[in-house]
């Protein structure tokens, strides 16, 4: 319950900070920063590759936005070596665990990753 209120307060705070964001954008940003970013930091690769690094690989492999979103969300739904384009990362950090998000949520997050310049942020 505390978590629920926590996420509600965070969401309201996000809305007041960025009133122009759509609900899907702020939901994706919330999930990304509440979960994905625990392992994927903006620029540093410690327990997993940084999101800047992952994004660079996906942009090269999938030039079209739609392919980028599709492949990234399919991987995050059920991570498997056959779907990976970063095999060295699996060897170095181990395969990413399955997180249990629905494909629609993962698609929103992948789009958020596509649109966000993580290099410009502070952390
Ligand atoms: C518990 C840690 C952890 C969390 C949380 C996590 N990841 Fe990962 N992720 C990893 C590790 C470790 C790798 C590198 C190994 C691999 O590619 O499987 C990785 C790799 C990836 C890759 C590259 C896949 C490839 O190999 O081509 C993508 C894309 C990705 N994560 C997306 C996400 C998204 C989106 C989220 C949030 C919904 C997320 N991750 C949350 C640990 C995590």
pLDDT in tens, 81-120: 999 999 999 999 999 999 999 999 999 999 999 999 998 8
Beta-carbon contacts of residue 86 (< 8 Å; ≥ 6 apart): 49, 54, 57
What is the token pair recorded at 16? 């007041």
Ligand 1 residue neighbourhood (C-beta within 6 Å): 35-36, 38-40, 48-49, 54, 72, 75-76, 79, 84-86, 89-90, 93-97, 99, 101, 109
Can you say how many angstroms the Cα of residue 64 is from the centroid of all Cα atoms in its chain? 18
> What is the whole-number distance in angstroms between the Cα of residue 14 and the centre of ligand 1?
24
> What is the whole-number distance in angstroms between the Cα of residue 23 and the centre of ligand 1?
24
17 vs 23, more confident: 23
What is the token pair recorded at 68? 């980028």
Nearest CA among 69, 55, 64 for reference residue 106: 69
Q: For the segment 69-83, what is each residue's pLDDT rounded down to a tens digit?
A: 999 999 999 999 999
> What is the whole-number distance in angstroms between the Cα of residue 15 and the centre of ligand 1?
27
Specify whether the CB–CB gap between 54 and 86 falls below 8 A: yes
Q: Which pLDDT band, with edges at 50, 70 and 90, does 5 fall under?
A: low
CA-nearest residue, atom 40 of ligand 1: 36
- Please state at what angle helix 23-31 crosses helix 103-115, rounded to 10 degrees: 90
CA-nearest residue, atom 29 of ligand 1: 72
What is the token pair recorded at 26? 């702020």
User: What is the C-alpha to C-alpha distance for residues 78 and 72, in angstroms, rounded to an integer?
Assistant: 10
Q: What is the largest CA-CA distance in the chain?
A: 42
């Amino acid at each position: 319950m505390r978590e629920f209120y926590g996420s509600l307060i965070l969401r309201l705070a996000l809305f007041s900070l960025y009133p122009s964001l759509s609900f899907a954008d702020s939901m994706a940003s919330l999930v990304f920063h509440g979960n994905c970013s625990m392992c994927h930091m903006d620029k540093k690769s410690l327990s997993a590759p940084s999101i800047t690094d992952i994004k660079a690989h996906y942009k090269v492999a999938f030039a079209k936005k739609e392919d980028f979103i599709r492949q990234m969300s399919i991987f995050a739904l059920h991570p498997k070596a056959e779907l990976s384009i970063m095999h060295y990362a699996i060897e170095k950090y181990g395969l990413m665990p399955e997180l249990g998000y629905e494909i629609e949520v993962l698609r929103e997050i992948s789009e958020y990753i596509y649109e966000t310049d993580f290099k410009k942020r502070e952390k």
